[in-house]
Amino acid sequence: MSTSKSIFRLTEDWTVVVFGFLIIALALFGIKIPSPTFAWENSTELFEKVVNSSNLLNISKLFLWVYAIAILATKTLGKDVIATVKGFPIVFILTSLALILAGNSFLKNWNLEAVIFSLSIGLMISNFSNIPDWLRESLSTELFVKIGLVLLGTSIIFGDILKAGSLGLIQALLVVVSVWYFAFWVSKKLGIDEEMAIIISSAVSICGVSAAIATAGAIKGDSKKLSYVISIVLITAIPMIIFMPIIAKALGLSEAVTGAWLGGTIDTTGAVIASGSLIGEEALKISTIVKFSQNVLLGLAAFVISIYWTYTNNQSEVAKESKPSLGIIWERFPKFVIGFVAASLLFSFVISGEVISEVKGGLKSLQGLWFALAFTSIGLETNFADLFSSEGKKPLYAFLIAQGFNVMITLVIAYFLFN
């Protein structure tokens, strides 16, 4: 009986590819994914738009979607299904609270994303109360993150490169490559381990939170290190949104140069749009285009980093005796990256724009939900001391130095390309 089970059991990476594409297939075949609203400005809107019977019904439908997938994925992995059945609803409720907090317009303006609230809620509970064993056993951080990453591929459209034009693409390539290597060099000089250095470098150079999550998944990184980096990314973005437009105006930069500068340095698309809007229409357009160009490079970067990490960090006995063969590299290669890239290619070159416009809202909603579920789980299994004290201040210094370099080198490149 046990032999039969092992035949049909999938690895975690293949499981997330299967269920990620199951979600995509259902959406493409017309199964509507519930998209509840979490946006509100004041207490009146909170009760009228979010906490009303219609929206709570949509949240319940969304819960049933992800609950079924979580149970089936747990069963496929051969893990304890009972723990998931009991624990997942609690993780979902806490995550929904985080999404409601993140939906507040005031907090959105400060670029406080749902993942930071998910992490914070989980941390508060885990550090001020005892988490029962059955709840800890139900936490599937890696599963949640990787399903979200496969779905993220549906929003990375290669056609956005064409919209960016040659200048936007050139800037994106120059910034990503130069800033990534500088950040990695600084991290190594400060004595930071390679795993943390790679996550920091990707977060600074590509697109912040998404890049950090994708990179950590690609190298099977420690979730505590990922949380540390994401916390720095989100906190650092707040002053950049406010002060970079002010600095641009003080320097007398044109809207085009300012937009390219903002798009190449601020780490999240939403923050770029918010900051670009403070300058003008042209700045908003160019900043968004440049950010799209960098986002498109995320898939390529994750793929390259996966191969590098697999080749250089293989600890099997065979690898210790000789250089890893292609077979060993394939065995250790994170297969979810294939799902991520395949989803991006599918939505870039196969699916029509009309269909994409119909399904992108629901898929985007699910993608964000899986990420938020993952960070609620990370918070529930992490101590404050582990999150901030164990890594010390060196990663913070490395990130700030790299971000400073990013701001300066991107300004120079933007000035020469867009002035």
Contacts of 73 (CB under 8 A, 6+ apart): 15, 16, 19, 140, 143, 147
- 68 close to 89: Cβ distance less than 8 angstroms: no
Which pLDDT value is given to residue 326? 62
- 292 close to 164: Cβ distance less than 8 angstroms: yes
Helix, strand, or coil here: 40? strand
104 bridge partner residues? 40
What confidence tens digit (pLDDT) does each residue in 40-69 have? 999 899 999 999 999 999 999 999 999 999
Q: What percent of the chain has pLDDT over 90?
A: 30
40 bridge partner residues? 104
Q: What b/e sequence results for 241-259 when a residue is b if at least 16 CB atoms lie within 10 Å of its CB, and e otherwise? A: beebbeebeeeebbbbbbb
Q: Report d(CA 98, CA 376) in Å as an integer.
A: 9
Structure tokens at 30: 């017309």
210 bridge partner residues? none
Helix, strand, or coil here: 104? strand
DSSP label of 79: -
Which pLDDT value is given to residue 186? 96
State the distance between the two ends of the chain, measured CA to CA, in whole angstroms: 69
Which pLDDT value is given to residue 419? 78
Cα torsion 337, 343, 346, 352 to 10°: value is -160
Could you list the mean pLDDT of each consecutive 10-residue stretch along the chain, which spans 419 residues? 46 88 93 88 91 93 94 90 93 95 84 79 88 86 85 76 68 88 94 91 84 82 83 79 86 90 80 74 79 74 79 53 55 74 89 88 88 87 64 84 94 89
Phi, psi of 104 (to 5 degrees): -65, 130
Alpha helices in 29-158 (DSSP H): 43-45, 53-77, 81-102, 105-109, 114-128, 133-138, 141-152
- 167 close to 414: Cβ distance less than 8 angstroms: no
Q: Report d(CA 268, CA 237) in Å as an integer.
A: 8
What's the predicted TM-score (pTM) here?
0.73
| For the chain, counts of helices (H) and of strands (E) | 22, 0
